[in-house]
A and B are shown apart, each in its own frame.
Chain A
Amino acid sequence: MKLSHAINYVALTAILVFVSFTSVHAQLAPSPQPPVPADKASLSLSPAVIMGRGAFGQGLTQTLTLSNNTGKDLNFDLVAQDVVVKDGKRIYVAAGELPDSIAATAVFSPKTILIKAHTAGSVDVRLTLPAKTDVRAIVAIFQGTDVLPTSSGGVGMTASLSTLITFNLSENVKLESETAHVTPPSASDYMLVSQWLDNMGTEPVLPEGTAAVLNAKGSLVSKAVFKPQRLLPGERQEFVAAFPEQLPSGSYRALCSFQFEGKTQTSSVDFKIP
């Protein structure tokens, strides 16, 4: 299986297409709906992420709701793709092209949907986890089939939105952290504490973390939260926490603590503020 050949649907993940609908309103007349300000026209999909937890062979049914806050009726096809990590990057593989594909078991009801302007439409997706699989994530995609003219009247775009569904199927959760790094504050930027985390287990992880700064006496002088980022198996991300405080000169220690799936992990780095 040459995953490098798989289509990279970067554009499909969590795309929220904001377009100007000035010209759209002109085409849709007469419209019973009040005109939508161009800067408020949007499409949104809920939930954006689903974290499933279960066992091999289990089924999962989830309702996905797409809100069409544009002035145009939109048609969507529903498709699913497996998400795997190759060379540290997420790639999206068409259903059935991976052995024991989860996306291949996706049953959408309905399979296509028309969502009228200023309304929302829901679709149920049913998934069956194979008896064994290395796949731990799929995307359920609302694939737009209508071309949306741009405000400039230029090349039209289609809008596609997707929900990421991850599955935790075992206890094999393992994160490896690299040495934390501190970027001292400057006149134009905050002090940053950063740390790379590698997901070395077989399950997706959503680490929550806090960076704490201790002074030479060991007392807490400041803390900041790392922005949560999801790590699929094999994925690697840098977690960064920004400290707006202006610390006085001296020696400090930064602690980076993460909690995930009932486990905790803390690393530290010493630094000085000149």
Chain B
Amino acid sequence: MRLFRSLMVVAAVAVAVQGQVPLSVGYQKRLEISLPGATAAYSLDSSIAEASASNGAIEIIGKAPGKTNIVIVTQSGVETLSVIVPVPPPMLPPGFEPPEAQRNGESGSYEFRYNSDPAQITNSVEMRRTQGQSFERFELVNANLFSANGSSSAVGFPYLSYEISHPNRDMTFVDQNVSNSPFTLDGYMVRGFHYRQGDWQFHGGFSSIATFQGLFLATDREYVVGGSRTFRLDSNNSVQGNLYYFRNPDSLTGVSENGWTGTMAFRYVNKDKAHFLTEWGFSRGIGLAVNGGYDDEKTHLLGSFRSQATHFASLAVNNQHGTFTDLTVARKVSSRLYADIDLNQSDFNLPILQQNSLVGGGLLTFKINRNFSLTSGGSYSSFQSKLPVAPQITTVNVPTGIDFSSRHFGSGFQYERTTNFDGSGGNDYAVNLRGAAGEFHGTAFFRHDVQVPTVDAIFALVPGLQDALDRAGIVAATPDQLAELLRNSALLATLGFSTPFTVNLAPSRNDYGASLTWMGRDSSHRQVDLSYFDSNTDLIQGNFRLATTSVSYAQRLNAANQIVGSAALVHTANSGIAETKPLFSISLRHRFYTVPSFILPGRHGLIEGHVFRDDESSGLFGPGHEALAGVEILLDGERVTHSDAHGYYSFPHVPYGTHRVEAKFESSDPFFYTTDSPATTDINSTVNFGINFAKGQIFGFLVNDAGAGITGVSVQLKGEKFTRMVETGGSGKFAFPGLRAGTYTISTLPESYPAGYSLLGIEPQQVTIAAGKPAELQFKVNALRSIAGKVLVYDKTLLKPVPVAGARVHVQGTSLETTTAANGAYLFRNLPAGTVVLKAEYQGQTATRTVTLPSDPANMRDIDLNLRSE
């Protein structure tokens, strides 16, 4: 055991090191793992887990719930190990309900259904109120019931149930569909009283309804009373002891015995991956039942076995005595190879029905590439009936096929060699086509079989049941479908609704058909189905043909209502006697989001509010706000209403508790909610939804030619209907937020400029902004900078500098040049910011002077240049 644990840990480490699955280390637990060559280890978050390593042994300690990584240093490099420390399970006092399990809500549905043949009207109502892990449920089905003598009751209630359920206790009045165990109650509808308290449960009442192909069939009452106790061994395993008493009507004497049945069942359940049950039953004989299933990424397995003695006490209708086995295995053997195995065995041992059937087969599918696949395999089927007497049919089939499948088109061809043990046989083949384009998809097929096992003539007493059985018999095209039909319909013979089915070989059968489906992509989920099916079977004596043409239409009328209607024309021709019959059906389904108090009493209230345009993003609804009509509002993700012309919405009759209300506003313009959506609220409260459209913004800068911002200048924005004015800020920035999409004219006002700027040529700018988008612009004006002064030369006679007329003055590095006036003055205008060097020249004498001009406007005077001889 210890070695096994070590191996598991090493395997877990190998997987975790590859970065696939975090290694789980218990909270405040120590985990030792081995990684050869590890010399050091450390955690990247020591508050969650701590790690150390020595001589290939790594120790990890979970310190707090969370996820981190362990760095492991080995001789060959560094590995990173993802580690998770799970949250320890909460220590809850008995009866305490964890908050996440608390759900509250009401739901329900009503469905009306009408079938033309046999004429049957069905009304179904289901109401449910959930409070945390507890719920109450009311269900009612009203329909006319058919009896074995061919009569039909005008009003019947095949199902009426009121259930009160708590985590540790359930109580159901009148009807419950009970699935306890194979030898007690296995999917039976029992009318009476049902109670569960912890590991104990009790059921008592009678069963008087059977169903076939949607028809409700009245049967004589079968009584049952019993109870069971479950002993839980651990979280996966449990043992259940059952003791039941059954009493059947005289009409079913011989089908099943009255008396006590005691059973012991062992159950194993591993979440969704595996489940297994085995039950030993003791009554007037012994019974054994086994069923189970297993699912993982590669394997899907489902199987069952049941065998009980002839006089084993049980209910008669659904619990057919005999031996029955079912097995379905689908396995992905490799990335290209798939295997399917099916086994279906029945051994009926009833007073009027003694039949054996065994159907088994295997099929291998090999995917050649993405589009093509090959199939091959083999199957064996055997049908034997002692009562009524019929010849044994034993057939071996060897199918081979190829299939092409792409995104929009697919087709397949299958050849099958059929060999019967009576020496007959032949070649079967089938071809199918399928395609999809846009909202349409269609299929077509043709199948030719020879020496094919087929359901022999059936006779039913109930009008319409005959057609249903004929169709079911024809549709059962393969031996395993046939075997399943035999088993499912055995109860009809037992109850006297039909003669027992037998199987015979038909010399040949041709089936073909086509279907076309259109599915709308809008919210109404409209769907139209057209189909045609034609089957022509050559019998040993005569010929049987069945052709059906059908059309069906389904549409979601609104969030709460759905309608489905269908019409079909069924044509049958049996050895020259032809009949054509129309069939209609329609169903209406309505969803409820609240439950009327007279059905399930409870406290209710109102949730209401307004949807409004909130341009100021205040989040508060007031009288002046513009209403937004037609906005979809969802309550708890299911119940839907829309705001009216005043933006008002309401949800009346909301059950007590906390609810989620959400506005689903839609617009092509970008918008955002100014209030919470979804919002959480209690009943009798107001939830308003504010919606603001994302506004555009125009912003920019007013700068001079040196790039310096100009402050305090008025900037005007003109729209179609309004004008706004702002002042430039410290960096020359201005902004006009909250603008709708459109074109605007922006201008600066000349009179607001400070002195020193050239106001010539300041043009307005036009800007177009999209909804919710910003736009930036820049105004640039020239700052006026000038330098003025005189060119002087020292007059040795006058002993002072005197102005020089006609001296040449220029700005070095530029083309700017001037000549001094009579008073020796010069002037340079429109100078850029920065440092300039002035140079004056006159009759071999020069003068230079460096001057720095600021970025702001500057009028620099008295910049005199004194000439000197070079």
Contacts and interface: CB of A to CB of B under 8 A. Distances in A.
Interface of A: 1-2, 5, 7, 59, 61, 94-101, 104-105, 107, 109, 111, 126, 128, 130-131, 208-210, 212, 214, 217-220, 223, 225, 255, 257-259, 264, 266, 268
A105 B672 contact: yes
Contacts of A217: 39
Contact of B694 (A104, A214, A266): A104
Interface in B670-700: 670, 672-677, 690, 692, 694-697, 699
B433 interface: no
**For the complex of A and B, 7 pairs with smallest distance between CB atoms:** A128-B672, A218-B39, A220-B40, A96-B697, A105-B672, A264-B80, A107-B617
Contact of A255 (B52, B69, B71, B673): B71
Contacts of A264: 44, 69, 71, 80
A255 B670 contact: no
B619 A109 contact: yes
User: Which of A98, A126, A219 has most B Cβ within 10 Å?
Assistant: A126
A225 B46 CA distance: 10
Given A107-B617, A131-B670, A208 B44 contact: yes
A264 B673 CA distance: 38
B731 interface: yes
A59 B672 CA distance: 8
B619 A5 contact: no
6 contacts: A2-B776, A59-B677, A97-B776, A107-B674, A259-B69, A266-B71
A126 B676 contact: yes
Interface of B: 39-46, 52-53, 68-69, 71, 73, 75, 78, 80, 617-619, 670, 672-677, 690, 692, 694-697, 699, 701, 731, 733, 735, 737, 772-774, 776
B845 to A, nearest CB: 48
B119 to A, nearest CB: 52
User: Which of A104, A128, A219, A255 has most B Cβ within 10 Å?
Assistant: A104
B699 A59 contact: no
A104 B44 contact: no
Contacts of B692: 107
A121 to B, nearest CB: 17
Contact of B676 (A59, A96, A219, A223): A59
Contacts of A126: 619, 673-676
B774 A212 contact: no
A59 B676 CA distance: 8
A259 B774 contact: no
User: Which of B672, B692, B701 has most A Cβ within 10 Å?
Assistant: B672
A98 B772 CA distance: 10
Given A94-B699, A97-B735, 7 more contacts: A1-B776, A5-B701, A96-B737, A97-B697, A107-B619, A131-B670, A264-B69
A105 B675 CA distance: 11
A98 B731 CA distance: 19
A131 B601 CA distance: 44
Nearest to B38: A218
A111 B620 CA distance: 12
A5 B733 contact: yes
Contacts of B46: 225
A99 B776 CA distance: 11
B44 A257 contact: yes
B710 to A, nearest CB: 14
Contact of B40 (A96, A107, A218): A218
Given A220-B42, A255-B71, A104 B695 contact: yes
B694 A99 contact: no
Contact of A61 (B52, B73, B676): B676
Contacts of A5: 701, 731, 733
A131 B80 CA distance: 37
Contact of B80 (A2, A59, A266): A266
B774 A268 contact: no
B672 A255 contact: no
B78 A266 contact: yes
B472 to A, nearest CB: 49
Contacts of B617: 107
Contact of A99 (B68, B619, B676, B773): B773
B69 A96 contact: no
Contacts of A130: 670, 672, 694
A98 B673 contact: no
A255 B69 CA distance: 14
Contact of B44 (A99, A209, A220): A209
A209 B42 CA distance: 11
Contacts of A257: 42, 44, 69, 71, 80
Contacts of B42: 210, 212, 220, 223, 257
Contacts of A99: 773-774
Contacts of B675: 107, 126
A221 to B, nearest CB: 9
Nearest to B770: A99
Contacts of A101: 774
A209 B68 CA distance: 11
User: Which of B52, B670, B677 has most A Cβ within 10 Å?
Assistant: B670
A78 to B, nearest CB: 11
A256 B676 CA distance: 43
A225 B674 CA distance: 42
A209 B697 CA distance: 42
A131 B670 CA distance: 8
Contacts of A94: 699, 735
B831 to A, nearest CB: 26
Nearest to B54: A219
A104 B696 CA distance: 10
Contacts of A104: 694-695, 697, 772
A218 B73 contact: yes
A22 B41 CA distance: 55
A212 to B, nearest CB: 5
Contact of B774 (A1, A210, A266): A1
A219 B695 contact: no
A220 B51 CA distance: 11
Contacts of B774: 1, 96-99, 101
B64 to A, nearest CB: 14
B75 A218 contact: yes
A209 B731 CA distance: 42
Contacts of A7: 731, 733
A97 B42 CA distance: 46
Contacts of A266: 71, 78, 80
A99 B695 CA distance: 11
B44 A258 contact: yes
Nearest to A265: B80
Contacts of A214: 39-40, 73
Nearest to A99: B773
Contacts of B75: 218
Contacts of B673: 59, 126, 128
A208 B45 contact: yes
A111 B40 CA distance: 55
A95 B618 CA distance: 16
User: Which of B39, B40, B695 has most A Cβ within 10 Å?
Assistant: B40
B293 to A, nearest CB: 34
Nearest to B675: A126
A130 to B, nearest CB: 6
A31 B243 CA distance: 82
Nearest to B735: A94
Nearest to B617: A107
A259 B71 CA distance: 10
